[in-house]
Amino acid sequence: MSDVSSIPPRPGLPVGTAAERRDAARNRERLLAAARELIADCGAEGLTMDRLAEHAGVGKGTVFRRFGSRAGLMLTLLSESEAVFQSRFMFGPPPLGPGAPGLERLIAFGVERISYVMEFGDLVLAAEHASHGRFEAPAAVLWHRHIEILLREEGFGSDPWLMAWSLAATLDPERLLSLVKVHGITPDRLAASWRDLVTRVVRGA
Amino acid sequence: MSDVSSIPPRPGLPVGTAAERRDAARNRERLLAAARELIADCGAEGLTMDRLAEHAGVGKGTVFRRFGSRAGLMLTLLSESEAVFQSRFMFGPPPLGPGAPGLERLIAFGVERISYVMEFGDLVLAAEHASHGRFEAPAAVLWHRHIEILLREEGFGSDPWLMAWSLAATLDPERLLSLVKVHGITPDRLAASWRDLVTRVVRGA
DNA sequence: CATCTAAACGGACTACGGTCCGCTTAAAAT
DNA sequence: ATTTTAAGCGGACCGTAGTCCGTTTAGATG
C-alpha cells in the first residue's frame, strides 16, 4: 500500500493523476527546456513539433503524449505567467485586485491584459490557434466570469454575461496584435479606447 | 490588335486582368460546382483541396492556380452573398441603408450581420481560417469603415476608428458561432445585447 | 534478486495545405 | 495553315500536426 502523501507535487499537472515516472519527468523537463530555447532562437512560429522532439532528443510520440497538441505545449509554457496574471486580478492590490470600484477594476483589467498580450503575444496566439474551443479554455472562462462579476457590481442590469463576452472580444489577442503590428496603434491608445468603452457601457445604465 | 470591349465580363474576378482562356473558365466552373456539391454533402470542413481536385477531375495545381488558397476558394463561394449584404447596408432601404439615424443603422447592421453568420457560418469561418490577415480582408475593412462613419454621424468624438474595431470584434463569426453552438444562446439574445451595447456606446457621449 | 505489468517510448505513417516545374494547348500573329 | 508563346495544367513533392502500434523499461510485488 503506497503512501499518497509521499508523492511529490508536480506543478502544472492536474491533481488526482497517478505519480509521474522518473523518465517521464526527465523528458518533460528536457522538452520544456528545449522548447524555451527554440522559441528564444526562432520565435514561437519557428517551433515545430518535429524540431522540438529532435532538439530534446526524444521521439515525436513522446511530445504529443506529454502535451497533447502544439496548443497544449504553448499553454504549458504560458501557465506560469498566466497564473501570476490571474492571481494579480483576483487577490492582488487595487485597482486591479479587490478593493477598488468595479469600473476602475475593469479599466485596470483591460490595461493589464493589453500589456500581457504585448509581452507574450505570439505565444498566446500559438496557444489559441488550432485549439477549436479557444473560448472554453479555463483561463478565458475565468476572465469572462471576472468581467461579468464586475459588471454586476456596477449594477449592470441587462445580460451582463453576454456583455462580458463582448467586452472580452475587444481584448482578443489576435485583434490587439493586428492593431499594433499592422496598423501601428500604440498600446496606450488601445488602453484609452478600452477605458472609454467600458466607461460608456457601465455609465450608460 | 484586339478589341478590349469584346472581352466577356468575368464576374468575381478583379478587373484589369487578361481575358480567361476557355479551358480555364470551364475548369473554374467545374471546380465551383464540385465545391458546392462537396460542401452540401460533407459540410465546409469536409472539403479538402485534394478531394475537390479529384472530384472536379482536375489536377491539384489547378485548384491553387484558380483560388490561391483554401480561404480564397471559400471567399469566392461567399462573394455573391457578401456582395448582396454589402449593397444592402450601403445602398438599400432604411433602417439598414441610408436614410435612418446612425444609431438605428448601427443596430440594424449588427442584427443583419448576426443573421448572415447564422446562415453562412461555417463557410465564413473557413474563409477566415488560415488567412493570416483576416482583419485586412476587403470586406472586413468595409465594415469597420461603415461602423466608424455611423459613429461619427452620431457625434462620437473620441477615437471612432478604434471603437469601430471594438464593436466589430463583438460580431466576430467565430465568437458568435461559439455562443450559439456551444452555449445555446439564441440569435435574438445576441441581437438584443448588440442593441444594448451600441446604444450605450453612442449615448454615453 | 527475479518477475511482472502498465506506463512510457519512438518513429513510421496519415492527412492536409501549399509549392514547383516540366509538359500541353488555346489562341494570337503572320 | 503554320508558327509562336504565354497561360494553363497536373501531380510529384514538401513541411507540418497529429495518430498508431510494436518495443522498452521503471518500479512495484513476492
Residues A170, A90 share a domain: yes
Q: What is the percent of chain A with per-residue pLDDT over 90, rounded to a whole number?
A: 78
Residue B61 lies in a domain: yes
> Regarding predicted confidence, which is higher, B125 or A32?
A32
Nucleotide with C1' nearest the B71 CA: C17
Classify residue A1: in a domain, yes or no.
Answer: no
Rounded mean pLDDT, A143-168: 96
- Contact of A166 with B197, CB cutoff 8 Å: yes
Is A2 domain-assigned? Answer: no
Task: With cut-offs at 50, 70 and 90, classify the pLDDT of residue A6.
Answer: very low
Assigned C-alpha cell, A72: 497544449
Q: pTM of the full predicted structure?
A: 0.87
Q: Which of A68, A93, A112 is the last residue of a domain?
A: A68
Mean pLDDT across the stretch B156-173? 96
Residues A15-45 have pLDDT tens digits of 446 678 999 999 999 999 999 999 999 999 9
Contact B71, B128 (CB under 8 A): yes
Smallest CA–CA separation between A51 and chain B, in Å? 22
- Among candidates B36, B173, B183, B42, which has minimal Cα distance to B118? B173
| Of residues A71, A79, A106, the one with CA closest to residue A194 | A106
The answer to whether residues B42 and B141 belong to one domain is no
User: pLDDT averaged over chain B?
Assistant: 89
Q: Please report which confidence band the pLDDT of residue B129 belongs to, taking 50, 70 and 90 as the band edges.
A: confident
CB pair distance less than 8 Å for B203 and A204:
yes
Q: Is residue A102 part of a domain?
A: yes
Residue B98 and residue B31 share a domain: no
Predicted confidence band of residue B205 (pLDDT cuts 50, 70, 90): low
3-class SS of residue A99: coil
The pLDDT, as a whole number, for residue B200 is 96
Task: State the cell numbers at A131.
Answer: 485549439
> What is the pLDDT at residue A8?
40
Domain boundary among A25, A48, A68: A68
What Rg value do the Cα atoms of chain B yield, rounded? 20
- Proportion of chain B above pLDDT 70, given as a percent: 89
Task: Please determine, for residue A179, whether its predicted confidence score (pLDDT) is greater than 60.
Answer: yes
A162 touches chain B (CB under 8 A): yes
Which residue places its CA closest to the C1' of nucleotide C16?
Answer: B48
Range of the domain at A127: 71-203
| Nearest residue in chain A measured CA to CA from B157 | A196
Q: Is residue B4 domain-resident?
A: no
- CATH number of the domain at B46, please: 1.10.10.60
- A25 and A95 together in one domain: no
Q: Is residue B169 domain-shared with residue B193, that is, in the same domain?
A: yes
Closest-CA residue to A82 (of A104, A112, A106): A112
Task: Please check whether residue B181 lies inside any domain of the structure.
Answer: yes
Q: What is the pLDDT of residues A66-92, one digit of tens each?
A: 999 999 999 999 998 999 999 999 999
| Measured CA A24 to C1' D26 distance, in angstroms | 10
Report the residue from B159, B192, B199 with minimal CB separation from A193.
Answer: B159
Residues B86 and B161 occupy one common structural domain: yes
Residues A110 and A60 in one domain: no
**Distance of residue B104 Cα from the nearest chain A Cα, in angstroms:** 17
Tell me, in Å, how far CA of B24 is from C1' of D22? 50
Q: Distance (Å) from CA A64 to C1' D20?
A: 12
Average pLDDT over residues B22-50: 94
Q: How far is B184 from chain A (nearest CA, A)?
A: 12
B11 within some domain: no
Let me know whether B75 and B142 are in one domain: yes
Q: A124 with A198, same domain?
A: yes
CB contact under 8 A, A201 and B204: yes
Mark residue A11 as left, alpha or beta (left: phi above 0; alpha: psi -120 to 50; beta: remaining).
Answer: beta
pLDDT at B89 over 50: yes
Please judge whether B162 and A199 are an interchain contact, meaning their C-beta atoms are less than 8 angstroms apart. Answer: no
B73 CB-contact burial (10 Å; exposed 0-12 / middle 13-18 / buried 19+): buried
Instruction: State whether A96 and A163 are in the same domain.
Output: yes
Same domain, yes or no: B136 and B79 = yes
Q: Are residues B170 and B107 in the same domain?
A: yes
Number of domains in chain B: 2
Mean pLDDT of chain A, nearest integer: 89
